Amino acid sequence: MENHTGHCCDVPAADVHDGAFRRVLWMVLAFNAAMFVIEGAAGLGAGSVSLQADALDFFGDSASYGISLFVLARGPRWRTGAALLKGAAMGLFGLWVIGATAWRLVVGGVPNPVVMSAVGVLALAVNVFCAVLLYRFRGGDANMRSVWLCSRNDAVSNIAVVVAASGVFVTGTAWPDLLVAAVMASLALYASFLVLRHGWAEWHAT
């Protein structure tokens, strides 16, 4: 649980050399890479901006977990630098989604709500599973914290995609899909701010 400053409550930090954390990272990396392919194809086929955005987020998370594995046993500066890189990537993701949403407003079109709902539920199941695996590591350094935030935000985004699919089905318009995409962009930008602030503080403390 987080307080109002965005820092975790007092949870013992996991050892960066902990083999359990490394194994969990490999698992969530594999799941995220698979979902990037599945959701990316579905998003393009269904014409859904929120699915495409979520697929890109899966890709970003896969790269993020790979970076975390690379720096896991390295010094504090390496781990903090990785967190700053991932925070910047989350911010760029948020900006990309805003641009994609604006483009969809211009070109128009209504996404397929059935595909959105089915793939959104699958993505939610994967992200909840990954979040459960990562939960005990959420109180670590900025690098570990960024991994936890990625998984938590993704689960919230998947719920929003399923809600958007229902909205598209009921209204027959693309507005629910576009609104959810905008929310996902906001989540990415906020998480980027949290990780960058925490990482920047650690960078100056080391």
What local confidence, expressed as pLDDT, does residue 75 receive?
A: 62
Question: May I ask the CATH architecture of the domain 19-205?
Answer: Up-down Bundle (1.20)
Per-residue pLDDT, 101: 85
Question: Distance between CA atoms of 202 and 196, rounded to whole angstroms?
Answer: 10
> pLDDT 10s digit of each residue in the chain, 206 long?
333 333 332 233 444 446 777 888 889 899 999 999 999 899 888 989 889 888 878 887 787 778 767 766 666 667 677 777 777 877 888 888 888 888 888 887 889 999 999 999 999 999 888 888 877 766 655 556 666 666 676 777 788 899 999 999 999 999 999 998 888 888 778 878 887 887 777 676 76
Alpha-carbon distance 149 to 146, whole Å?
A: 5
Number of H helices, E strands in the chain: 6, 0
How many angstroms separate the first and last alpha carbons of the chain? 26
Instruction: Give the dihedral sign, CA 183/185/189/192.
Output: positive
**Predicted pLDDT at 123:** 93
Q: What is the pLDDT of residue 79?
A: 66
**CA 147, CA 24: separation in Å to the nearest integer?**
11
- Contact (Cβ atoms closer than 8 angstroms) between residue 87 and residue 196: yes
Can you give the pLDDT at residue 9?
28
> Rounded to whole angstroms, how far apart are CA atoms 115 and 113?
6
pLDDT of residue 8: 32
At 17 the pLDDT is: 44
